[in-house]
A and B are shown apart, each in its own frame.
Chain A
Amino acid sequence: MIQLKQLSKTYGNKHKQTVALSDIDVTIDRGEIFGIIGHSGAGKSTLLRSINLLERPTTGEVWIGDTNLTALSEVELQGQRRKIGMIFQHFNLLSSATIFDNIAFPLRLVRTPKAEIEEKVSKLLKLVGLEEHRNKYPSQLSGGQKQRVGIARALANDPEVLLCDEATSALDPQTTQSILRLLLDINKQFGITIVLITHEMHVIQTICDTVAVIHDGRIVEQGPVTEVFLKPQHAVTREFIREENESAELLDRIIASLPSNDHTEVVKINFLGTSTYQPILSEVVQETGVSFAILQGTIATMKDIPYGQLIVRFEGNKEAIAKTCEMLRAHVHELEVIG
């Protein structure tokens, strides 16, 4: 659906150059929710704005479907942009227009007949749950409501792609969840491809299918969220996950404080999918006669895929522990011996 080929962006002149993006190659499939995560200044905003050419890349191509956006004229590009919705961290609504007129804005740009505007905007107001606010002005709404208006406006032209620029960063945790749920609904209901940027791992974890980690203008890691989340390769990715799971440091201290010998082994077990809810660990230790203590654990879902991660300390004879690990490996997603 979306392909970014060898994208790079540099600012400045001959004497002083700042590289914002380099060697970006990304393919985003139709209908998926693609998350880009990075610290501020990593280039994620520039990357997102390259997709609809609000920022023109210095080199490289942007393809949406069969259209090479980078090769279009100004007028053709304006036509293509109408098929790409965008929402913003600070909502960017017209303060001088009512909620109704804000949502009708993109329709009026293409001279949609009045009756059609009325019908469409009413439908969108219902979709985002703001029917009773249609004649209010943005300043009368809360942040979450403003973002709903932003979403309705972005959907007015039936776009194939929705770009979200830190759409939940200015919202409180509860409102964030409700906006994320709305985005997920829209993705499922209309099959719209969503590209979002964020600096919060939980946003990625809640709604994304695929994630790309951007650092210093480069994509350092990308793949399915489950893969990246359970097996982070790059230091920056680990850092993002660690922020979510602050107890990692604590774990190091716990492990160090416990005696380590031939009769003990600390392992990290990753569960993924329905096996997360099976009594695998319990069945295996019953068979091998090893006893265990759970040092740390998480059971949660990524989007709708269950996953679990347990740090377990086994006690028993060496062979039995080895057997336990071997048997577990056959049933769980992954098992890693830590110490």
Chain B
Amino acid sequence: MILLSTGFDFSKIYWSEIWTATWDTLRMLLFSGLFTFIIGLPIGILLFMTARGNSIWSQMLYRVISFVVNILRSVPFVILMISIIPLTKLIVGVSIGVLGSIPPLVLAAAPFFARLVETSLREVDRGVIEAAEAMGATKGQIVGKVLLPESMPSLIAGITITIVTLVSYTAMSGLIGGGGLGDLAIRYGYQRYEIEVMVVAVILMIVIVQLIQVLGDRLVHRFSRK
């Protein structure tokens, strides 16, 4: 109501374009979130397990993975996105649109999520892992039956944080024609001074972030047993 009374003219908005953009954003979040999870989770587990290992090989592997993860995390997303365009074309065939934005999003978010996974696993009680070892659990069983179930609430919180971060990344992918709400806000609001579109797009992004956070918090609560 405040917005309505400040002189914005919402009749100018092409709503169909807004819905398309919303749908694009949701698709980008869904797919990049999914692949970030699929790729980031094992890397996070690997980081945790190799850091714990005693052998020289395990220590070396940890350093290598950790180094790569740090590099990917320190390159600003915009630069990362542009610099991997050839790779993106190789993977998905195109470098623009929803499809073209997914590889850079995953490449930026997976290392971030991997670190969150590593931190979550470190919080698992050392004694519980030891108890499983004493019962003859294999490494795979320790991961599947101890580490993941015990850190579930923390992992869900990590996924939530990662997806919320992806929401702001998707906005930047507008620069390479990635589409979505962020792209819309920049094109109309920033470049064409159509403030109304920008306001609506930003409000929709806020709504998406809120929904993700509420859903994540609920799931965390449901899986908490402590």
Contact = CB atoms under 8 A, between A and B. Distances in A.
Interface string B122-144: 00010110111111111001000
Contacts of B137: 78, 109
Nearest to A156: B135
Nearest to B151: A96
Interface in B104-152: 125, 127-128, 130-138, 141, 145-146, 149-150, 152
A161 to B, nearest CB: 11
Interface in B177-226: 223, 225-226
A52 interface: yes
Given A95-B225, A95-B226, A108-B145, A78 B138 contact: yes
A90 interface: yes
A84 B134 contact: yes
Interface residues of A, number: 30
A88 B129 CA distance: 12
A109 B135 contact: yes
Contacts of A88: 127, 130-131
Q: Is the interface of B mostly helix, strand, loop or mixed?
A: helix
Contact of B145 (A52, A92, A109): A109
Contacts, number: 67
Interface in A33-85: 52, 54, 75, 77-82, 84
A105 B135 contact: yes
A137 interface: yes
Interface of A, helix, strand, loop or mixed by DSSP: mixed
Contacts of A94: 128, 146, 149-150
Interface residues on B, range: 20 to 34
A93 interface: yes
A195 interface: no
A79 B136 contact: yes
A139 B225 contact: yes
Interface in A86-136: 86, 88, 90, 92-97, 105-106, 108-110
B225 A109 contact: no
Contacts of B133: 54, 81
A96 B136 contact: no
B179 to A, nearest CB: 40
B134 A96 contact: no
Interface string A289-310: 0000000000000000000000
A52 B134 contact: yes
B130 A105 contact: no
B151 to A, nearest CB: 9
B145 A137 contact: no
A96 B131 contact: no
Contact of B136 (A82, A93, A163): A82
A163 B135 CA distance: 11
B149 A92 contact: no
Contacts of A75: 138
Nearest to B126: A92
A92 B127 contact: yes
A88 B141 CA distance: 20
A112 B149 CA distance: 20
A92 B127 CA distance: 5
A106 B128 CA distance: 13
Given A137-B225, A139-B226, A97 B149 contact: yes
B223 A96 contact: yes
Given A90-B127, A137-B225, A109 B136 contact: yes
Contact of A78 (B128, B130, B136): B136
Interface of A: 52, 54, 75, 77-82, 84, 86, 88, 90, 92-97, 105-106, 108-110, 137-139, 153, 157, 163
Interface of B: 125, 127-128, 130-138, 141, 145-146, 149-150, 152, 223, 225-226
8 contacts: A80-B136, A90-B127, A92-B125, A93-B131, A95-B226, A109-B137, A137-B225, A139-B226
Given A78-B136, A84-B134, 16 more contacts: A54-B134, A81-B134, A81-B136, A86-B135, A88-B130, A90-B127, A92-B125, A92-B128, A92-B130, A92-B131, A95-B225, A109-B135, A109-B137, A109-B145, A139-B225, A157-B135
